[in-house]
Amino acid sequence: MNAQSPDPALADLLASRPSLQTDVRDGLMFEGVPLHVIAAAVGTPCWITGAGTLRRRADSLRAAFEARHLPVSFHFAVKSQDHQATLTMLHQCGYGADIVSGGEMKRALAAGIPAANIVFSGVGKTDAELRMAVEQDIAQVNVESVEELYRLDQIAGSMGRVARAALRVNPDVDANTHDKISTGRAGDKFGIEHARAVSLYSEASGLRSIKLVGLAVHLGSQMLTAQPFRLGYQRLADMVREIRSFGGIVESIDCGGGLGIRYRDETAPAPEMLAGVIAETLGDLDVRLSVEPGRWLSAPTGILLSRVIETKAGNPEFVVIDAAMNDLMRPALYDSWHGILPVAPQHFTAPVSPRDVVGPVCESSDIFARDRALPDLERGDLVALLDTGAYGAVMSSTYNSRPFATQVMVDDHRWQIIRERQTVEELIAAESVPDWIKPRNA
């Protein structure tokens, strides 16, 4: 993203997002549903997921690989959006799950995803989580360290089982992305150093309770060019050939995810680019391939709908909305940019001027936008924060005792609540006071 370029105009934000439409009476609509109708029914803030958008993107990603005749399986990165409705839909589209915790494993299984289509990635898997993976007989555990490999062998052996595993390699490739979402550089906490991985593969092949099936990699997130993918996958291809040169068996390569999207004015890569790079670097190795899309699938499916509480005159002018950093953490955490659109029809032809859009949480970092060109907004007006389907609701908290917001799914002019708004009373009811602390009025 070029920090010096002007923000996209409201019309450009609309034009680049085919799931959004405007109507002269109803204003902004998402997959044919007027957003003001949802706000009136369930209140704000409110998360909205577009089922049709998710379905189309899942199909287009699959088609890109089918066109290359690549033997690829797809495992959705559950960490990006973990709602049961999303997981169930993607299971219907033929996707499995890439998980990073025992909780995500339970979510995937509850959505009907077979254990044989679940891959367990992530640093710091507990013994209990590894035991669960072995019990469920999942497709594979992507092992992140020497220590984890031997723990998994011991746990599986104690259960009389053999666990399928892949070594997750850190290829020391710079993904040219935000520091906080880079996972494939030498200084990142993820994976096994590529210089160590080849010898470890030989050692692991001798373990009694491990069936080593291949290698895995994940270079980073929001990657916008082919070169990091090409470098990382070529490094894996070289490792496969070296392992096979001493008789090692490599059956599969997990290519990870990382494909980026257009939030602001980025040139987002098409899935055909990723399919092409994988075909070029790994296509002649006679291995099963898998990819782990997350953000690319889920981010464009989401909107955070919010209402203006008040405007605060000054320099800058503040527009205070009822969504906050506890709802959408990404701007505070990563300085991420999200498009913001008004909902009322008259606002799309009104003059615009720079405004800061902020939330009500008691933190200076509770800011969604600086100097954003928006029309005059008043108390009660609705705004939509775009591309919040990935790392949005899943990263929400109840900071400032703000309950989790309602979640809604829209699909071809229909909509339904998929998670009710939490109440403060429910927050309090989950807490208890030790017996030795007596109320003052007791």
**pLDDT, tens only, 226-271:** 998 999 999 999 999 999 999 999 999 999 999 999 999 999 999 9
**Confidence category of residue 8, pLDDT binned at 50, 70, 90:** very high
186: helix, coil or strand?
Answer: coil
**Per-residue pLDDT tens over the stretch 67-91:** 999 989 999 999 999 999 999 999 9
User: Which of 297, 331, 363 marks a domain boundary?
Assistant: 297
- pLDDT computed for residue 219 by the predictor: 87
Is 293 annotated in some ligand binding site? Answer: yes
Shared-domain flag, residues 418 and 360: yes
Does residue 348 belong to any structural domain of this protein? Answer: yes
For helices 226-245 and 271-282, the axis angle rounded to 10 degrees is: 30
Spatial CA neighbour of 39 closest among 210, 30, 117, 364: 30
- Predicted pLDDT at 2: 42
Query: Average pLDDT of 146-167?
Result: 97
Tokens encoding 93: 């589209």
Q: Specify the CATH number for the domain of residue 147.
A: 3.20.20.10
pLDDT on residue 407: 99
Mean pLDDT of 263-292: 96
Query: Looking at the structure, do residues 85 and 110 belong to the same domain, yes or no?
Result: yes
Contact 83, 72 (CB under 8 A): no
Q: Residue 6 annotated as binding? A: no
Examine the fold and report which residue of 233, 268, 297 is the final residue of a domain before the chain moves on. Answer: 297
Domains contained in the chain, number: 2
Specify whether 125 is located in the same domain as 249. yes
Residue whose C-alpha is closest to residue 82's, from 336, 359, 302, 329: 302
In this model, does residue 391 exceed pLDDT 60?
A: yes
pLDDT value at 374 more than 80: yes
Task: Determine if the peptide bond prior to 345 is cis (ω within 30°).
Answer: no
Containing domain of residue 55, as a range?
51-297
Q: Is residue 194 part of a domain?
A: yes
- 295 among annotated binding-site residues: yes
DSSP string, 331-360: HHHH-----EEE-SGGGGSS--EEEEEE-S
Q: What is the pLDDT of residue 440?
A: 72
Please give the pLDDT value at position 442. Answer: 58
- Whether 68 has a binding-site annotation, put simply, is no
pLDDT of residue 178: 44
In a domain, 435, yes or no: no
Closest by CA to 253, choosing from 217, 220, 279, is 217
Amino acid 84: pLDDT: 99
Return the pLDDT at 175: 54
Classify 367 as helix, strand or coil: strand
Check whether residue 31 and residue 69 sit in a common domain: no
Q: What is the DSSP letter of 239?
A: H
* pLDDT confidence bin for 185, thresholds 50/70/90: very low
Task: Judge if 79 and 217 occupy the same domain.
Answer: yes
Q: 323 and 215, same structural domain? A: no
Same-domain pairing of 104 and 75: yes
276 and 333 within one domain = no
Q: Of all residues in the chain, what percent carry a pLDDT higher than 70?
A: 95
CA distances from 244 to 56, 215, 237 (A): 39, 12, 11
Q: What mean pLDDT do residues 180-206 have?
A: 71
Whole-structure pTM value: 0.93
**55 has pLDDT over 50:** yes
Lowest mean pLDDT among 102-111, 263-272, 399-408: 263-272
Pick the last residue of a domain from 278, 297, 316: 297
pLDDT band, very low/low/confident/very high, at 188 (cuts 50, 70, 90): low
- Catalytic positions, please? 362
Tell whether residue 317 is among the known ligand binding residues.
no
pLDDT computed for residue 171 by the predictor: 80
Are 241 and 316 in a shared domain?
A: no
CATH of the domain at 322: 2.40.37.10
